[in-house]
Amino acid sequence: MRLAKVALCLSFASAIAASEPAPTAVGPEFESTAKEIAKMEDQLAAAIGNKDTAFLERVLAEQYFDVYEGEKQALSKSETIARCKAGLLKFLAPEKERKMSPEKDAVAVEGVAKLIPNRQDDTMPAEQWVHIRRLWTKKDGKWFLASQVRRLEGDEGKGEVD
């Protein structure tokens, strides 16, 4: 009976541990991956700034999507590339609360970034803070950007970011 209780407690504890998110810093084995992702983030920023649609074609996953949390529609890979070509795509670099964390078969980069709308794009209101989350995944030894999810700070009970 006592052995059964111990086994039940151990299986419960392992289930809880498995459901917890991975920590931001996991040790030396993640350092190399973190450097690779930081390099990919830098290349992505440069590509968007230079309207390098060929780079985006290579690095965005085929099923890539870019969405504001809660929206019913997302931008696809081709729509994102078209926005880049038109000069409407912005790279959102996390300025606050930046973290990088491993996830199953992927790495998440997230934080709070300042969104400054383009003059040509009247769909965005004035400058605002957004929470950004990009998910990078590796396939055949190459990193691909799988998704970008944004949430306006202040939505869903979140306060303004100082």
* 121 assigned to some structural domain: yes
Query: How far apart are alpha carbons 29 and 52 in whole angstroms?
Result: 32
**Dihedral through CA 82, CA 87, CA 89, CA 93, nearest 10?**
150
Name the band, by pLDDT with cuts 50, 70 and 90, for residue 156. very low
Give 73-132 pLDDT, tens digit per residue: 899 999 999 999 999 998 999 999 999 999 888 999 999 998 876 655 555 557 788 999
pLDDT of residue 27: 66
Q: What is the CATH number of the domain that holds 120?
A: 3.10.450.50
* 23 assigned to some structural domain: no
What is the domain extent for residue 104?
Answer: 28-157
- Per the model's pLDDT, the better-predicted residue between 69 and 111 turns out to be 111
pLDDT of residue 123: 57
